[in-house]
Amino acid sequence: MRSALSIHSHADFSSGVAAEGASQRPISVPVICGLALPLDALAILWSSALAYALWLVDAPQVSWSEYGIISVLGTLLAINVFYLSGLYEFETITHPRLALRRLSAAWIGVASFLIALSFFTRSSEDYSRAWSMIWFVASFAHLALLRWALHKRIAKWVSQGRLYRNVAIVGSGPGAVRLLRKMTHAMDARIRVAGVYDDKPGNRSRNALPLSGDLDALIDRIQREAIDAVILTLPWSEEQRILAVLDRLRILPVDVHLCPEPVNLDCGKPRFTQVGGVPMLSVARRPLSDWSRAVKEIEDRVVAAGILLLISPLMLAIAALIKLDSRGPVLFRQKRYGYNNQLIEVFKFRTMYHDMRDVNAEQLTQRNDPRITRLGAYLRKWSLDELPQFLNVLRGDMSVVGPRPHAVSAKAAGALYQDAVQDYVSRHRVKPGITGWAQINGWRGETETLLQIRKRVEHDVAYIENWSVWLDVKIILLTVVKGFGGKNAF
């Protein structure tokens, strides 16, 4: 109760910041993020024109149209790479150091690709290296300056309270208390509770929350001040009461949300659907179905086939080295959990001595593990032992991107994974992958503590709930950029 009350008092409009924000027009966060994209495009194109004006405008037999085409293609490529790198996410925009790191990596990648492409498509004597260098440096400077200015502007808007969504709560009973406690735990800085109201203030219990007024007071406040949303915490069994409140609120310019009675219900991205013509709240759903499932299957087969064609010479060389390094088969087959918690046989290059192999992964691999061969240590360090799993993708057992498959006896801090994490099995709602969201965020390798496996599962579930083709492309690109190795790979 104390944490819920603290939100109410802290977010009251009587405070100076709230009053200042209420007097000014609120600013939409999606609009801010959306405007960053065209501004980046203009900065890159302007830098290209500036480079041409400084270096090539008086040069004989030089056409702007050719350089203009390169500039447009480079801009389109950069915008897509920026998007995949998360540069248009609000959390990135508001953290200048994070934004600068991602911008540097993305722009260096784009510049390198354009330089290589230009050398392949134009003769070296016609290609102006000076123009490209001026363009790349000027673009980066303009992009960095743009993000610094945007960060400063957002900081000012935050101080004015113009980025907050002011939320009022209708209902002061146990449902409102649970809601406020949940919102306190979430710590969303963009949500400010404006007050608690009740349509029946005379029927309140002693343990109810302090009120800011009745329903008439709330309506009057919505008409006078900037209230963005109203959340109803009324019991769902009181249908007529809810309908009566909705009838009075639906005519006002405000979002109205009906909070479920089990506030702690975790249903991912909730949505309403119709079953037999009856509207229902979807609290759990298949992450991949219909077209999304078909697209994922096509993506896996095409990407896996292309990669296998490219790396087949490397795989043949590794296979020969394994035979020369130690006795035993080239491939190691291990039972692991796959889609729908079913067991699949995963292929890997053998990295352990054949008589020391651990089929069920009952003993976690450690640094300087005596079971690992000399060649196996290098294969594990750079994750080259995972390459045969592209064959699993072609067989349909795995995906290129997804939660990593775990062995049946894998443990964290002495506990089986499924015992260490309550919703561990939920990661098996999709096919396991060769790389994944957890891996590119550093949660790979050994699991000596419960935190390590919980963070891994947390990232896996986040990937499943937010899956898209673009997210898969982003993970693949980041896997290539960051490399397959790491300090936790052994």
HEC letters along 49-102: HHHHHHHCCCCCCCCHHHHHHHHHHHHHHHHHHHHHCCCCCHHHHCCHHHHHHH
Cα–Cα distance, 168 to 226 (Å, whole number): 11
Domain-embedded: residue 300: yes
**Same domain (yes/no): 319, 466:** yes
Q: Is pTM beyond 0.75 here? A: no
Between strands 415-416 and 411-412, the pairing is antiparallel
427-480 per-position pLDDT tens digit: 888 999 999 999 888 887 667 788 888 889 999 999 998 888 889 988 998 888
Domain-embedded: residue 18: no
pLDDT at 383 over 50: yes
**Same domain (yes/no): 178, 210:** yes
**How sure is the predictor about 23, in pLDDT bands with cuts at 50, 70 and 90?**
very low
Looking at 128, 159, 190, the residue that finishes a domain is 159
Percent of the chain with pLDDT over 70: 79
467-477 per-position pLDDT tens digit: 888 899 889 98
298-320 per-position pLDDT tens digit: 999 999 999 999 999 999 999 99
Given this model, what pLDDT does residue 404 score?
92
**How sure is the predictor about 8, in pLDDT bands with cuts at 50, 70 and 90?**
very low
**How sure is the predictor about 293, in pLDDT bands with cuts at 50, 70 and 90?**
confident
**Same domain (yes/no): 238, 100:** no
| Arithmetic mean of pLDDT, 54-61 | 61
Q: What phi and psi, each to the nearest 5 degrees, are found at residue 233? A: -110, 25
CATH assignment at residue 222: 3.40.50.720
Domain count for the chain, please give it.
Answer: 3
Given this model, what pLDDT does residue 321 score?
93
DSSP state of 218: H
187-230 per-position pLDDT tens digit: 666 778 888 898 887 666 565 678 888 888 888 888 887 788 88
Domain-embedded: residue 341: yes
Displacement of CA 318 from its chain's centroid (Å): 34
Domain-embedded: residue 23: no
Domain-embedded: residue 271: no
**Same domain (yes/no): 383, 303:** yes
**Same domain (yes/no): 136, 170:** no
Domain-embedded: residue 6: no
Which of these, 411, 407, 428, 429, lies nearest to 420 by C-alpha position?
411
Long-range residue pairs from 349-356, CB within 8 A, at least 24 positions apart, any chain: 349/318, 349/319, 349/322, 349/379, 349/384, 349/385, 349/387, 349/388, 350/322, 350/376, 350/385, 351/375, 351/376, 351/377, 351/379, 351/380, 351/385, 352/376, 353/326, 353/328, 354/326, 354/327, 354/328, 354/329
The alpha carbon torsion through 459, 465, 468, 472 (nearest 10 deg) reads: 20
Neighbours of 25 (CB within 10 A): 7
Looking at 126, 159, 192, the residue that finishes a domain is 159
133-189 per-position pLDDT tens digit: 888 999 999 999 998 998 888 888 877 767 777 888 888 888 888 888 877 776 666
**Same domain (yes/no): 180, 46:** no
**Same domain (yes/no): 153, 186:** no
Residue 74 in tokens: 């480079």
Q: Which residues contact 391 (CB under 8 A, 6 or more apart)?
A: 308, 347
Strand order in the sheet with 165-170: 213-214, 191-198, 165-170, 229-232, 255-258
**How many degrees, rounded to 5, is the angle at CA 364 between CA 361 and CA 370?**
105
Given this model, what pLDDT does residue 259 score?
80
Q: Which domain holds residue 222?
A: 164-265
Cα–Cα distance, 227 to 196 (Å, whole number): 12
Residue 301 in tokens: 């087969």
Given this model, what pLDDT does residue 399 score?
95
**Same domain (yes/no): 330, 371:** yes
Average pLDDT of every residue of the chain: 80
355-377 per-position pLDDT tens digit: 766 665 556 666 667 788 888 88
**Same domain (yes/no): 138, 40:** yes
Cα–Cα distance, 256 to 232 (Å, whole number): 8
Cα–Cα distance, 388 to 397 (Å, whole number): 12
Cα–Cα distance, 234 to 261 (Å, whole number): 8
Widest pairwise Cα distance in the chain: 87
70-126 per-position pLDDT tens digit: 888 889 999 988 988 888 888 888 888 888 988 998 899 888 887 777 666 654 445
**Same domain (yes/no): 218, 98:** no
Given this model, what pLDDT does residue 202 score?
67
Given this model, what pLDDT does residue 431 score?
94
Domain-embedded: residue 81: yes
Domain-embedded: residue 318: yes
